[in-house]
Amino acid sequence: MLTTYEVRWFYSGNIPESIESWFKHCLLSPTKLPEKREDVYLYAPNCDYLGIKLRQGALEIKWRYPKSNVMNFGSVVEGNVEKWSKWRLDSTGEAFQLTQIGDNPVWVRVAKVRFSQLYQVVANTVQPVSSDPNVDNGCSLELTNIEVNGNKWWSIALEAFGEDSNLKDNLQVTANFVFRNYDNFSLQAKSSYGYPSLLELAV
């Protein structure tokens, strides 16, 4: 089980050029290629605390803790910080194959093109690093193009991991770092939620 602190924003349309420019300055390697994949979500109406999806041959289940906090990360950035736990079960044999789903409408295909940057947090000091599984306490910053049912969305997200007592601090110090000079598209709490809530809007 992996427990994370996360804050996400979703907006319809394509990523604004000003946001792309800002994000490139966050990347350790600006020429890094994005990750392209298609996740398939189980659509559960009126259930914004549970996410179930098939991702690259594995089944992932995410459960959101009841309490969330609105936090500010500068003058134009405000989001709902949520605590999630995630379980992942890798496929064996014929399990978790997309052919089993077919065109069942309760499963929703979500195409993603995602840029990301990993940050290591040590003693409240933030350092961008290359993708490294040996980072014990850190946070990832993501900028993603999303397509659901032919409609385009884009998202900014921060996802902090590490020791449970450090999770909130890992997110806070990383957000303070990446948004320290941010003076761009206003990120608002009303547009800050998880993927289950996005499906409610997009399906």
Distance in angstroms (rounded) separating the CA atoms of residues 168 and 171: 5
CATH class of 2-202: mainly beta
What is the model's pLDDT at position 124? 85
What is the model's pLDDT at position 75? 84
What is the model's pLDDT at position 98? 61
- Which residue's entry shows tokens 């966050």? 26
Q: What is the pLDDT along the chain (203 residues), one digit of tens a residue?
A: 899 999 999 999 999 999 999 999 899 887 788 999 999 999 999 999 999 998 887 889 999 999 888 999 988 999 999 999 999 988 666 665 666 666 777 899 999 999 999 999 998 899 999 876 688 899 999 999 999 999 999 999 999 999 999 999 999 999 999 999 898 889 999 999 999 999 999 88
DSSP for residue 106:
T
Q: Let me know the angle formed at the C-alpha of 149 by 43 and 83, rounded to the nearest 5 degrees.
A: 45
Sequence spans of domains, the chain: 2-202
Q: In sequence order, which residues have a C-beta less than 8 Å from that of residue 32 and are 6 or more positions away? A: 115
